[in-house]
Structure 1
Amino acid sequence: MSDHKENFFVDFPPTSTDEWMEKITADLKGADFQKKLVWRTNEGFTVNPFYRAENVEGLPTLENLPGQFPYVRSTKKDNVWYIRREIHVDDFAEANKKAVKLLTKGITSFGFHLPKNGITPENIKVLLKDISPEKVELNFRTCISRTLELARVVSDYLLKNNFELTKCQGSIEFDPFRKILKKGIDSPQWAEEAAEIVNITSQLPHYRCIYITGNSFSDVGAYIHQELGYSLSYGNQILGALIEKGIDPVVAANKIKFTFGIDSNYFMEIAKFRAARWLWAEIVNAYEPLHAGQYSDEERKNAAKMNVHAVTSAFNQSVFDPYVNLLRSQTEAMSATIASVDSLTVRPFNEAFETPTDFSERIAVNQQLLLKEEAHFDKIIDPSAGSYYIETLTSSIAEQAWKLFLKTEEQGFYENLKAGAVQDAVNASGDARMIAVAKRREVLVGTNQYPNFTERRSDTLAESHQHACGCDGDKETPFKKLKVRRLADDFNELRLATERSKKTPKVFMLTIGNLAMRLARSQFSANFFGCAGYELIDNLGFNTVEGGIKAAREKDADVIVLCSSDDEYVTYAPEAFDMLKGGKELFVVAGAPACMDDLKAQGIEHFIHVRSNVLETLILFHKLLGITIK
């Protein structure tokens, strides 16, 4: 083979940014570039439609290599991650059988959720029978009131059975602020308990015991910079408290593990994990003067590595059309693995409405195996590196998260929790996202867009999954807490109310006039009313309004939607409205024509269009049709 390298672009002169802008401006035909093509993120920065080398000049991340401080690209020199499966333990022997079987299915990590009254050496021995802690990452969680006892039992088990401790990987999950975030209850002894669990696990060099649960924020609707900024402050609060309790900074940092959620904003999530490692490394490195001379440079740098477990989103899981959850969780898993996380849990697609089945749990595991064994994601380290877009996103997210971190640090994370500032900010973001879904500014396929309106769920929906509320509901608590909910909750209630009514409203599309407009608006209307589970009756078109009204009444329609063009509504809408006076049917015009105010003056009340609040409009129609929402 020839060593000569051809320059295939020699005949193509470089194109400047100004030339690109001239072409884009011409194609926009007078439309505003900023309004048309520049996207404003929830994180507070703008995203351009294209990026060039000049956009990343001077970024400090460009020269970073995998496994090199500050670990933007990765904390390791490969992309092997633990495929984790969560197991809720009721019967320890049965949980062991399940885990041992899963070891043959590609699982390399377990997250055992243990009952608080079952933390005994005997039960742990039963649970871990035929499971080697030297080969499988083992993570344990229980009620926070028993976590110290769990740490003692697990540590004793590993020490007494003479395992090679340097090969044992895992965690005992002590989340100091779980109670205040989830239940609104303070645990004032958190610092003492955190120091104690670090000391208990001191002989387990690769067992983390302090859990920073960033997914607590993302799973209730936090924006990316909030999840990251608050998690960093959370981690720094614990790190500082451990050092004050006499724990060596390197030891303390090596005991902290982060869990982040993954939302469906594909590229932003990739950038989030890269920014997270970068910022945490800088935070830990700032404590270097406290242990100067005690450790080698490599040991100090290793302590600054963020250990990240990622979990696909619970917030965007839907009850209806649940297989779409597979699509969402798959792109989320791709974001996490491309970004080089240490371990990953993919939630089963049916978790929102029933206890996961063997099938859904197997599929959740296979989603990771596909990425690893067929797509070979584990063979490539940080493929996004050097992308002008990803590098810019990484820097922008880091900047916004750092601003929030510094703001939170003025009082400290714990003080902000007690004041409710963190909860208020995250809950406000969740509220904003719920409104965005109601208005379709944020799309949940199968829920507020492209619903399967023939699907039924109320007969199979488990009682324990009817609502996404927390265990304490709306009970008054000493401190504010996070609102536990899902983006699809309100739409789920609409659909379930329709099912429970035992009389599905019929929506008849009265299509007439301009062919293109009537087809477009009938499709829009079907999509709109399908979100409430109404029966949809579409048509090819009518020659007269009278013919359409007659056909609608023959079908016993409850709602008649006029679908035509704006110009034709001037004539057709009043004609249809007059014919329907005195009838039981609700009359709706699809669109927001220029004559809308005139039509309203004539008594026509209901219009649906792209600026409609879909949720509020459907709630109104439920009320008018006598359907009660619980």
Structure 2
Amino acid sequence: MADSKQKLFTEFAPVSTEAWMNKVTADLKGADFDKKLVWKTNEGFSVKPMYRAEDIEGMAQTTSLPGEFPYVRGTKADNKWFVCQEIEVENIEAANAKALDILNKGVDSLGFVIDREDVSAENIAKLLKDICVECIEVNFKTCACASVELAKILAAYFASANVDLAKVKGSLNFDPTGRELARGKQFEDAAKAYAEMIDATKALPNFRVLAVNAAYLNNAGAYSYQELGFALAWGNEVLAQAQAAGLDVATVAKNIKFNFGVGSNYFMEIAKFRAARMLWANIVKAYTEDADAAKMAAHAVTSDWNMTIFDAHVNMLRTQTEAMSAALAGVDSITVNPFDKTYQESDEFSERIARNQQLLLKEESHFEKIVDPSAGSYYIEHLTASIAKQAWTLFLDVEEKGGFLAAVKAGTVQDTVNNAGTARRAAIAARKEVLLGSNQFPNFNEKAAAKIKTLAQDCGCDAPAAKVLDFTRGASEFEALRLATEKAAKRPKAFMLTIGNLAMRLARAQFSCNFLACAGYEVVDNLGFETVEAGVEAAKAAGADIIVLCSSDDEYAELAPKAKAAIGGAAILVVAGAPACAEDLKAQGITEFINVRTNVLGTLTAFSKQLGILK
């Protein structure tokens, strides 16, 4: 038997970075390495195709252990997290019954969303009836105007419930700044409210009453470094306000809970949470030497921004990878949004699936058994350091300009994040960012209008008075286009006129069907026609509104003018590809081309306007 302490692969000679680069350069055959293999992230830094040990030499983050400052590897020595599910409290007794039911189905963290009109000692007692608050995590969210009252009611309830107050874990989501960001509603004298809430719950050391809801930024389309940089400035604003009001900073820090969104950029999200703990620890250390105060309490909720109405079951794939990122990154709790959240109040099936997505990670994949498995990964350590640098630069910029609250009141934060969301939607329109089922590989015959039941709600406490975040999802413009098609008197039909080179016509027909189905058009594919005239005749017989000529670039110079002449004004002629003769064809009045460089949304919108579906 081989020596069990022998290192693996010792029989292989080490390969230097220079040798690797020589091999890569040779394989590139003269192509530029940086242009071909190095890509630039939305966060503004470059990512190489390979990393080696030398790339992480000197990084301080690689020397710490889980539970050690600066907590890049986690604030604890294990990777256990709470499985959280939110409950909209519309009926107190029904909410209590639902809570008891899902606690028996794997949930160990409850998130009650309660209207301010229902905030009373009697209702809280009914809501928490028969729930062992020492065994789970209990979280509450209500209107900011009722949060102080709710904090006092909860403190009184726990004190009278004959429980060990040190074992009561959870939070109250009081976030006046987030309220202004998301709803444009200002809150006067937040520092006073901070003091009242902290004082009311001082007997509950593991119950946090102040929130930094960075998930708002995520749901508005912020890039990862923006969400992190603004979240740090947001948390620092709370500390600064509390300090100015004479509160103990360490106590305030121990009362802050960060609620982050988590998107589908798998490795970047892992790095984001690792960097978040590290940077927050260093910020708090500037105020106090209390090591426990420097531990970030981080909750992750899967992103709303990239969820879709069409092909909604794909949302489960997105939320699964998002939950994986958060779990591997060592967050304290996770909420997985049900896949149908975008179009209805989630039902029992979708909520069960959302719960089970986390339970699978725990019980079958054993994610909670290993702490920070990404530690030492050259790639992830590089991402952690890079996103930390970008977020820290943004944090310092916000601080130099007066702090986070000043930036919110000036609209700087809202503009920055909304511009990022606009840029990302533009990338989706051009398929530079893919949302399966929306801008790529749609379910051709799906209809969704009948299933949309979700309505926006407002707490109604006052009118908006400031700029707000734009929560338009990435798929929203494609969905609006497709829903307009559903409402049209006639569903447009796109006919593939396949002719000539067999391989090219089949590939381009497949591409074109996928392209046009993103608008909800009916697509008719064909194996091929002997002549253009036969293809046009078949298209007219089928009642085609759009005829797509699918052939090879070399054949378009001859075939496209014939197709135009045969079609006349009976349908829109589209050429699939980007042939060298495109300018000559345009001069002959053939103006529509679709290819991989085409803006999908813009092109389909123009077609829908020509067809009278859109104004």
**TM-score, normalised to structure 2's length?**
0.97
For 2:248 and 2:459, the matched residues in 1 are separated by: 38
Residue in 1 that maps onto 2:591: 605
Compare 601-610 and 2-11 and name the one that shifted more: 2-11
1:224-269 deviations in whole A, cap 9, x for unaligned? 1110000100000101111222221221110010000000000000
Q: Shift in Å at residue 471 of structure 1?
A: 5.0
Q: Could you tell me how far apart the structure 2 residues matched to 1:472 and 1:5 are?
A: 63
- Determine if the alignment matches structure 1 residue 151 to structure 2 residue 151: yes
Q: Is the 8 A contact 1:183 1:472 kept in 2?
A: no
Shift of 1:611: 1.2
Give matches, 1:94-493, under 5 Å.
94-288=94-288, 300-410=290-400, 411-462=402-453, 464=455, 477-493=464-480
- 2:500 counterpart residue number: 513
- How far is the alpha carbon of 1:28 from its aligned partner? 2.0
TM-aligned CA distance change 1:7 to 1:373, over 3 Å? closer
Q: Once the two structures are superposed, what CA deviation does each residue of 1:346-382 show, in whole Å capped at 9, x if it has no partner?
A: 0000000111010000100000000000000010111
Moved more, 455-464 or 72-81: 455-464
SS at match of 1:177: helix
- Give, in angstroms, the shift of residue 19 of structure 1: 1.7
C-alpha distance in 2, partners of 1:476/1:483? 17
User: Post-superposition shift, 1:199?
Assistant: 1.3
Which of 536, 549, 553 is residue 549 of structure 1 equivalent to? 536
Counterpart secondary structure, 1:464? coil
CA distance in structure 2 between the aligned counterparts of 1:361 and 1:222, rounded to whole angstroms: 26
Question: Aligned partners of 1:428 and 1:60: how far apart in 2?
Answer: 34
Structure-2 separation of matches of 1:377 and 1:9: 27
**Are 2:345 and 2:454, in contact at CA under 8 Å, matched by a contact in 1?**
no
Aligned amino acid, residue 600 of structure 2: V
Cross-structure match for 1:559: 546
Residues 580-616 of structure 1, C-alpha deviation per residue, up to 9 Å, x if partnerless? 11x3211000111111010000010111111111111
- Does the CA-based 8 Å contact 1:453-1:532 persist in structure 2? no
Distance apart, 1:12 and its partner CA: 2.3
Q: C-alpha root-mean-square deviation of aligned residues, in Å?
A: 1.6
- Aligned partner of 1:53 in structure 2 is 53
- Contact kept, 8 Å, 2:143 with 2:459, in 1: the verdict is no
Q: Does the CA-based 8 Å contact 1:82-1:344 persist in structure 2?
A: yes
Tell me which of 510, 517, 521 is aligned to 1:534.
521
Matches of 2:99 and 2:277, distance apart in 1: 31
Task: Give the letter for the 1:396 counterpart.
Answer: S
Separation (CA, whole Å) in 1 of partners of 2:363 and 2:567: 62
Distance 1:539 1:484, change over 3 A: same
Q: Please give the secondary structure, in 1, of the residue aligned with 2:510.
A: helix
Contact 2:176–2:186 (8 Å) recurs in 1? no
Residue 297 of structure 1 corresponds to which residue in structure 2? none
Runs (4+) of structure 1 moved beyond 6 Å? none
Amino acid at match of 1:275: A
When the two structures are superposed, what TM-score results if normalisation uses the length of structure 1? 0.95
SS at match of 2:192: helix
Tell me, what secondary structure is at the counterpart of 1:205?
Answer: coil
Identity of paired residues, percent? 54
For residues 435 and 507 of structure 2, the distance between their equivalents in structure 1, rounded to whole angstroms, comes to 21
* 2:258 maps to amino acid: F
Q: Which 10-residue stretch deviates more, 30-39 or 348-357? A: 30-39
Separation in structure 2 between the aligned mates of residue 488 and residue 102 of structure 1, nearest angstrom: 31
57-66 vs 511-520, which moves further: 511-520
Shift of residue 185 of structure 1?
2.5
Report Cα offsets for 1:544-589 as digits up to 9, x if no partner.
11121111112111110001111111111111111111x3211000
Partner of 1:570: 557
Determine the structure 2 residue equivalent to 1:71. Answer: 71
User: Please, which runs of 5 or more residues in structure 1 have no aligned partner?
Assistant: 293-299
- The one-letter code of the counterpart of 1:587 is L
- TM-superposed deviation, 1:514: 1.3
Report the CA distance between 1:179 and its aligned residue.
2.6
| More displaced stretch, 337-346 vs 535-544 | 535-544
Partner letter of residue 455 of structure 1?
Answer: E
CA contact (8 A) 1:521 1:563 kept: yes
Aligned pair in 2 of structure 1 residues 2, 33: CA closer, same or farther (>3 Å)? Answer: closer
Residue of structure 1 equivalent to 2:579:
593
Stretch of structure 1 that moved more, 213-222 or 19-28: 19-28
Q: CA 1:51–1:126 in structure 2 vs 1: closer, same or farther (change >3 Å)?
A: same
Question: For residue 380 of structure 1, what is the amino acid of its counterpart?
Answer: I
Contact 1:217–1:426 under 8 Å retained in 2: yes
SS of 2:317's equivalent in the other structure is helix
Q: Which amino acid aligns with 1:520?
A: A
Whole-Å Cα distance in 2 between the matches of residues 255 and 493 of structure 1? Answer: 42
* Counterpart amino acid of residue 409 in structure 1: E
- Partners in 1 of 2:87 and 2:11 — Cα distance? 60
Q: 1:542 to 1:447 in 2, by over 3 A?
A: same
Match of 1:524 in 2: 511
| Partner SS, residue 449 of structure 2 | coil
Alpha carbons 1:176, 1:194 under 8 Å: kept: no
Task: Assess if the C-alpha contact under 8 Å between 1:433 and 1:442 holds in 2.
Answer: yes
* Matching of residue 81 in structure 1 with residue 71 in structure 2: no
Q: State the one-letter code of the partner of 2:414.
A: Q
Amino acid at match of 2:423: A
Q: Distance in 1 between matches of 2:129 and 2:416?
A: 45
Q: Decide whether the 8 Å contact of 2:302 with 2:337 is kept in 1.
A: yes
- Cα distance, 1:36 vs structure 2: 1.6
Q: Distance in 2 between matches of 1:535 and 1:418?
A: 48
Deviation at 1:302, TM superposition (A): 1.1
Shift of 1:8: 5.1
For residues 192 and 426 of structure 1, what CA distance do their matches in structure 2 show? Answer: 29
Which segment is superposed worse, 518-527 or 392-401?
A: 518-527
Amino acid in structure 2 at the alignment position of 1:287? Y
Alignment check: 8 A CA contact 2:342 2:454 kept = no
1:39-58 deviation per Cα after TM superposition (whole angstroms, max 9, x unaligned): 11111101111111111111
1:494–1:532 contact (8 Å) kept in structure 2: yes
CA–CA distance in structure 2, aligned partners of residues 627 and 350 of structure 1: 27
What one-letter code is carried by the residue in structure 2 that aligns with 1:612?
T
Taking the aligned partners of 1:21 and 1:452, their CA distance within structure 2 comes to: 43
Q: Which amino acid aligns with 2:486?
A: E
> Per-residue displacement from partner, 1:17-76 (whole Å, max 9, x unpaired)?
122122222222222221221111111101111111111111111111001110001100
Q: Residues 436-465 of structure 1: CA distance to partner in whole angstroms, max 9, x if unpaired? A: 000100000010000002001112211627
Any idea what SS the aligned residue of 2:299 has?
Answer: strand
Letter in structure 2 aligned against 1:367: Q
Distance 1:367 1:90 in 2: 26
Task: Quote how far apart the aligned CAs of 1:206 are.
Answer: 0.6
